[in-house]
Amino acid sequence: MSRKRYISFGLIALLGTSLVWAESAQWVQARDLYQRTNYDASLKVLLPEASKGDTAVLQLIGQNYFMLADYKKATEYLEKAAAMNPQSADAVLWLGRAYGRRAEVSSPFTAPGYASKARQLFEKAVKLDPTNRAALGDLFDYYMEAPGFLGGGTAKAEALAAQVAKSDPAEGHYYEALLAERRKQFDFAEKHLRAAMDEGPRQVARVIELAKFLGRLGRMSESEALFEEAARIEPENPRILFERASVYIKAQRNLGEARRLLERYLRSPLQPNDPPRQEAEALLKKTGA
């Protein structure tokens, strides 16, 4: 999928699947290393325990491999975790993500099969837990990006947006904004993004999305004001640094400031739901650093 969604990764669900590991020093260490994006070190703690068949261990191993972009190994461990806990929306969702990434990096011969598998797993995750925002978001992204012959399509995205709006009006407006922008209906997109921000006051993600949208339209002063508002709400949120720099770089302006923002971002204590370091490093190169 071309649009990146940065979300929390459901470690609470993992904790619930293995009370023994949840209370162990190894589990706490592995979880904390994962949360600090030290995926290799987390794997060193977890891999010696993989043969015990603990669902939470297998899932976290898969998540670590996923974050390290080793999607084949991620699939291997997440398949085991999902098979052992087929009613876990979180396990099924992560397996769908692994297949989705494999589709993105595979040959034209194997990619369609992986993509279809990802869609089926996203749909299963939503069926298992219709309130799971991460699963809904990934399924919406799939419908938006995938062609019809792979089970995607705007009509499916519209139906899902309407479903989400009933229980989460702010997220529903966000989905509608994405649909409107896809159709180049920019006035409607802005209307929905502002409504999402009104529905979720002081939710930094809502402010950031509107700031990014206005930046894409070249309305830089308004975008700047919203990034300042986001920084006032959550001064320590590193995503603000990344997204603001990204807007500058796409607009080819304020490249010196973009470089400083990205350098600050890379020095920040990042977590898995933040944009990956490699993306920040790739953006940094575009500033001439």
Domains detected in the chain: 10-112 (1.25.40.10), 133-182 (no CATH), 202-289 (1.25.40.10)
Contacts of 286 (CB under 8 A, 6+ apart): 249
Residue 4 is which amino acid?
A: K
Task: Check pLDDT > 90 for residue 92.
Answer: yes
pLDDT digits (tens, 9 = 90+) for 53-74: 889 999 999 999 999 999 999 9
End-to-end CA distance of the chain: 28
d(CA 193, CA 212): 11
What is residue 28's predicted lDDT score, i.e. its pLDDT?
81
pTM: 0.90
pLDDT digits (tens, 9 = 90+) for 38-56: 999 999 999 998 998 889 9
Q: Which long-range contacts (CB under 8 A, 24 or more apart) does 150-159 make?
A: 150/112, 150/115, 150/116, 150/119, 151/116, 151/119, 152/119, 154/179, 154/182
3-state helix, strand, coil in the chain (%, to 5): 75, 0, 25
pLDDT digits (tens, 9 = 90+) for 250-261: 999 999 999 999
Token pair, residue 166, equals 């009933």
Query: What is the mean predicted confidence (pLDDT) over 149-158?
Result: 97
Task: Check pLDDT > 70 for residue 98.
Answer: yes
Contacts of 211 (CB under 8 A, 6+ apart): 223, 224, 226, 227, 230, 243, 244, 247
> Residue 27's pLDDT band (boundaries 50, 70, 90)?
confident
Considering only CA atoms, which of 37, 109, 88 is closest in space to residue 268?
37
pLDDT digits (tens, 9 = 90+) for 134-144: 999 999 999 99
Residue 115 is which amino acid?
A: A
What is residue 1's predicted lDDT score, i.e. its pLDDT?
39
